[in-house]
Amino acid sequence: MEIHPLVTSYQQFITNRSNHKIGIIGQPDAGKSSLINALNNNNTAHTSVHTDATLQTKEYAFDTYGILVDFPGVGTEEVSTGYYKKLIQQSGINHFVYVFESKIKEADIELIKYLAKNDKELILIYNKTDALVDITNHDTVEELKRDKNTELKVTLKPYIKKPVSYIFVSTLTQEGLDTLRQTITEIFQAQQQDYKEKYAADDMLESYLNYKAHSLLPKLFTPSFKEVVMKKNYQSLERTILNHFKIQEDDVLDYKKEWPTIQEHIAKFDHPEVKEKVSGLKELAKIAQLLRTVFKLKTLNPVSTGLGALFEAGVVNAFPTIQGLTNYISEIKDIARKILEASQEAE
Ligand SMILES: Nc1nc2c(ncn2[C@@H]2O[C@H](COP(=O)(O)OP(=O)(O)O)[C@@H](O)[C@H]2O)c(=O)[nH]1
Ligand SMILES: [Mg+2]
């Protein structure tokens, strides 16, 4: 079935508020990009023999949900630790795979300290295990790995409370790749679960609808708002509102018995008795109150152009018009809510 454009827009809204990324960071030339390729079983990330080729982050789809983000190397001439911290912060990512291939360096410690302080989750990787050999041939590979873990524990003890150890991997021999793939898959599954919970949450739906109402303002209260109102050309406003909420004719027919119009809503308030009660300054105050509630506004700045023009033109009793307009918007918002509620149940 075709996905409703409003549903697509809500999905994007939730995606933007959910984590679905894992950052691959660590020492230069440690094999970060190679790991992304190995995990994906295809060659997409750019790897390099000489220096770390990545200066910016690059994203690679891991599965239908998760994205692996390739970072530059930590502690190179090109990328200062300050710039690196900024990259991490801007990414908004919470989970990181930190890749080592040699002794832990000053720059690594500084970055890990920063990550721990910012409550980021860390998976520690020791790559190129195939090259882990003792030149004097005294120690076995197992002993070398144990020493590496000891170095890790001792060095990171001041910064990370929980016990730490490496996942030993090699993109060359495939060692440890299944374990790493499994760990990453579990993180993405948890993130996807979180996405689903957010998608189904009532308060997320309300905050999306409020965001939609809010972003409708500049489209309605344009400099031509006055003309539209004076000519009672409400269809153009209706079209703007329907388009903005991505509501189609079929939707209106599905969820409403009658076709709502602004004119009809205005008529309900355009009685002489109602008119007499509100006038002048009092009217302006009422309009302001109404708009603040409907659009969740802190100030009236975004609508002042349109409203100002209305009052300059001496449109008396603008209250029924604004009331009719906002009631119409509420009705369309209700249809949008129902469409999205149906999609929440279908999830
Ligand atoms: N021996 C060995 N070399 C590797 C391994 N993984 C990557 N490399 C090599 O390390 C170099 C740097 O790899 P790259 O993925 O570009 O590292 P990045 O800078 O961390 O992204 C390349 O020449 C890779 O072929 C590994 O597991 N074993
Ligand atoms: Mg790279």
Nearest atom (ligand 1) to Cα of 30: 20
- Quick check: 148 and 126 in contact, CB under 8 A? yes
* Ligand 1 neighbourhood includes 49 CB (under 6 angstroms): yes
The pLDDT value given to residue 173:
95
Mean pLDDT of 35-55: 67
CATH topology of domain 5-200: Rossmann fold (3.40.50)
Name the band, by pLDDT with cuts 50, 70 and 90, for residue 223: confident
The pLDDT value given to residue 276:
54
In the chain, what are the domain boundaries? Answer: 5-200, 202-346
The pLDDT value given to residue 317:
61
Measure the N-to-C terminal CA separation of the chain; round to a whole number of Å: 13
CA 195, 89, 38, 67 dihedral sign is positive
Q: Token digits for 45?
A: 């990330």
* Mean pLDDT rounded to a whole number for the chain: 88
Name the band, by pLDDT with cuts 50, 70 and 90, for residue 273: low
Q: % helix / strand / coil in the chain, to the nearest 5?
A: 60, 10, 35
Name the band, by pLDDT with cuts 50, 70 and 90, for residue 63: confident
Q: Which ligand sits closest to the CA of 73? A: 1
Asked which of 111-115, 140-144, 223-227, 239-243 is least confident by mean pLDDT, the reply is 223-227
* Ligand 1 neighbourhood includes 30 CB (under 6 angstroms): yes
Closest residue CA from atom 3 of ligand 1:
128
Q: Token digits for 199?
A: 């998608």
Strand partners of residue 23: 69, 96
The pLDDT value given to residue 301:
73
Whether residue 162 is predicted with pLDDT greater than 60 in this model: the reply is yes
Rounded CA separation 31/101 (Å):
8
- Note the pLDDT tens digit of each residue in 298-344: 777 766 766 776 666 665 567 788 889 999 999 999 999 999 999 99
- Quick check: 318 and 283 in contact, CB under 8 A? yes
Query: Can you list the pairs that 15-18 forms with residues at least 24 positions away whose Cβ atoms lie under 8 Å?
Result: 15/195, 17/198, 17/204, 18/191, 18/194, 18/195, 18/198
Closest residue CA from atom 10 of ligand 1:
31
Q: For the beta carbon of residue 279, count every other beta carbon within 10 angstroms.
A: 13
Closest residue CA from atom 9 of ligand 1:
31
Whether residue 245 is predicted with pLDDT greater than 80 in this model: the reply is yes
